Amino acid sequence: MKTNRFLTVAAAAFLSVSAYAQTVDEIVDKHVAAMGGLDKLKSVNTIITERSIAVQGMEIPSKSTLVVGKFLRSESTIMGNAMVQVVDGKTGWMIRPTQMGGTGEPEDMPADQVKQQAGQLDPFGSLVNYKEKGNKVELVGKEKVDKKDNYHLKVTGSDGQLSDQFIDAETYLISKVKMDMGGETGEIDFSNYKEVDGIKFANTLEMSNAQMGLITLLTNKVVINAQVDEALFKKPAK
């Protein structure tokens, strides 16, 4: 009798875990489909994005050039001075104006900053192909975000990076991400999704943490699979 009872409980637990896993995969699959579908996302090799960044009363034009999984160059103009950041996932360099503690000359990027920036080499996020990437995804439950039902997923990256990601239960697009930002918990809100070549991009991003306050990024233009010269990412000689 005890053996039969144990088997019954074990079978119920197994079925519960299986159903839970299927629920997570169903949510992720619908999320990928809502973004444009896995085949479409895999076909993207480069993305060039032009944005306007609103921070502390300033409007800062910026441009990012991404070779998916390989290189990222971000350029912005602050009070007439150029700021450049480049990463390849393992190393990075930057040019900072004197107003931001730099010299205006190329310098190596600190390792912790490289690690933080390198996450942007994967433009569609840690949920897409999460198993192949070695990420773990858990369903926390259903919660309200801005009065809308969202699925709350806890994601553990293959590098140990933790994030809480919220997916709109109607559109299956990301609405909010909470994660570590330089030692502090930060939030990024995603909204105003628009389609470019069959892929949806959030045109409005609002980032906030205790150190930076609120930063709003408004997308003006997105170009997919443009030809990019990789010399753009090489550190210039001083």
For 54, counting Cβ atoms within 10 Å of its Cβ (0-12 exposed, 13-18 middle, 19+ buried), the class is middle
What is the reported pLDDT for 28? 97
Q: What pLDDT does 10 receive?
A: 44
pLDDT at residue 17, as a whole number:
43
The pLDDT tens digits of the residues spanning 132-174 come to 999 999 999 999 999 999 999 999 999 888 999 999 999 999 9
Q: What is the pLDDT of residue 238?
A: 67
Per-residue pLDDT tens over the stretch 173-192: 999 999 876 667 789 999 99
Whether 156 maps to a domain, the answer reads yes
**Is 87 inside a domain boundary?**
yes
Using 50, 70 and 90 to split pLDDT, how confident is the model at 1? very low
Residue 238 lies in a domain: no
Range(s) of the domain holding residue 168: 2-233
The residue to which tokens 């570590």 are assigned: 180
Question: Is residue 44 in some structural domain?
Answer: yes
* Helix/strand number for the chain, H first, E second: 3, 13
pLDDT tier at 27, thresholds 50, 70, 90:
very high
Q: The whole model's pTM is what? A: 0.85
Query: From CA 63, how far away is CA 226, in angstroms rounded?
Result: 14
How far apart are the C-alpha atoms of 15 and 187, rounded to whole Å? 35
Q: Is residue 118 part of a domain?
A: yes
The count of structural domains within the chain is: 1
Give the pLDDT confidence of 68-85 residue by residue, as tens digits.
999 999 999 887 888 999
Return the pLDDT at 11: 45
Q: The domain spanning residue 76 has which CATH number?
A: 2.50.20.10
Mean pLDDT of the chain: 88
